[in-house]
Amino acid sequence: EKNWLQAIREGKQAISNFDYAGPFAEMVLLGNLAVRFPYRRLLWNGEKMIVTNDKDAQAYVMRKYRDGWSL
C-alpha cells in the first residue's frame, strides 16, 4: 500500500502495477476454476473474459444480476 501511494504522489509506476497484476490475478482465478471443476476442459476467451464451453464454470466468473441491477 505504501509503495502504491508513493507511486501516485511521485507519478511513478508502482512495484505491482496493473499491467502485471491484472493478468496475474486472471491466471490465479482461472486456476481456482480448474480446481473447482476438475477433469473438465475449460475454454477461456480472454478478450471477453468468459468461459465459452461450460455454463457452470461461467457462473463463477460472472454472476447474473437481479433485475434492475447492472455493472
Provide the pLDDT for residue 23.
Answer: 92
Q: Does residue 16 contact residue 28 with C-beta atoms inside 8 Å?
A: no
Total residues belonging to the chain:
71
Enclosing H/E stretch for 50: strand 50-51
Nearest to 30 by CA among 58, 55, 53, 71: 58
pLDDT category at 62 given cuts 50, 70, 90 is confident
Distance CA 65, CA 19 (A): 28
Per the DSSP assignment, residues forming a β-bridge with 51 are: 44
pTM > 0.85: no
Provide the pLDDT for residue 58.
Answer: 95
